[in-house]
Amino acid sequence: MIGQECEMKSAPVAGPRPVLRQGSPPPDWLGCLAAREDYGEDFQVTTRPDPNADLLNIKEAAALLKVSEASLRRWTNAGRLACLRLGAKRERRFRREDLMAFLEGGAAAAAPAAPASARPAEVLLEGIAIEYGNHICTLYENDLGRLKWSVPFIADGLRNGDGCFLIATKAVRNEILGHISEVWEGVEEAVDQGRLVLSDGIADGEEMCRFVEHALVMATRSGMRSFRLLGDMTWCLHLGMTYAELLAYEAKYNYAIAHRFPLVSVCQYDVREFSGPAVLNALKCHEDTFNYPLSRFLAL
């Protein structure tokens, strides 16, 4: 798919399908500004939301939509309305543009669905209960370690009806999918139905974020209510991203996507391919990782 346009398959929905394209170099995102000599430029990682974003608390959002706060909690829990979860208390914050898009959806967007309790509040993997909305970093140092999280994470998601994303180089994808096929027979059907999205990634990190965000919104509108995304981050190196561009993409994804949807995101890093400073800064971009025993995320 590299160097070519590639349409993402999705469940039947109205509107255009997202298209993968290699775009222009990524811009300098706020929150990923300079400080590291290792990259030939200053670099500092932060996962804080864009301070210029128009964020509303739940009381303000409820007033704007003229609904109760309980309705907002129900819709965000069900994945019908995007929100950010900030701070140690994971308080909801809403972007005005998301609320306006929800309003434009009218009754269809707010139509009753299966109760939120029908969707598990967390993903259980390797004995760890990971809540939806978390963005985790795992590390591995050999080919077997690459499979420790990726195979059960995606296989369990497909069994449970989650929409799944697998973003990796073609060789790594084929290896992971081959092992998933040994434990679950529906891989090809899941791809055909759009429940499993396969991607090589996009060299422009901002466009990659737009692609994932659009896919999540369209899949939510089509009825999917929870998601898993596994990225084997060597794809970034194969597409020519610098370390600074990669970490800028991670930080952008963290605050713009990972905490806004009923989504568990796992980014795994092959420590044979990345420098020590790059791995350290990758961990800084995945602050949710530190809510769990760190040793469980090391496949060494």
Contact 136, 266 (CB under 8 A): yes
Asked whether residue 77 is assigned to any structural domain, the reply reads no
Instruction: Report pLDDT for 104.
Output: 73
Nearest CA among 215, 230, 261, 226 for reference residue 153: 230
Asked whether residue 72 is assigned to any structural domain, the reply reads no
Asked whether residue 105 is assigned to any structural domain, the reply reads no
pLDDT tens for each residue of 129-158: 888 889 999 999 999 999 998 999 999 999
Asked whether residue 34 is assigned to any structural domain, the reply reads yes
Q: What's the whole-number mean pLDDT along residues 11-28?
A: 36
Asked whether residue 67 is assigned to any structural domain, the reply reads no
Residue 194 has pLDDT above 60, yes or no: yes
Residue 16 has pLDDT above 60, yes or no: no
**Considering the chain, what is the average pLDDT of its residues?**
78
Instruction: Report pLDDT for 259.
Output: 87
Partners of 41 in beta bridges? 36
Q: Does this model's pTM top 0.85?
A: no
- Domain residues for the domain of 188 are 6-51+115-299
Instruction: Report pLDDT for 105.
Output: 66
Asked whether residue 70 is assigned to any structural domain, the reply reads no
Residue 94 has pLDDT above 50, yes or no: yes
CATH number for position 227: 3.40.50
Cβ-count burial of 87 within 10 angstroms (0-12 exposed, 13-18 middle, 19+ buried)? exposed
Asked whether residue 76 is assigned to any structural domain, the reply reads no
Domains contained in the chain, number = 1
The rounded distance, in Å, linking the Cα atoms of 55 and 73 is: 16
Residue 32 has pLDDT above 90, yes or no: no
Residue 36 has pLDDT above 60, yes or no: no
Place of tokens 């170099």: 25
Instruction: Report pLDDT for 102.
Output: 79
* pLDDT category of residue 112 using cuts at 50, 70 and 90: very low
pLDDT tens for each residue of 54-67: 789 999 988 888 88
The rounded distance, in Å, linking the Cα atoms of 221 and 236 is: 29
Asked whether residue 102 is assigned to any structural domain, the reply reads no
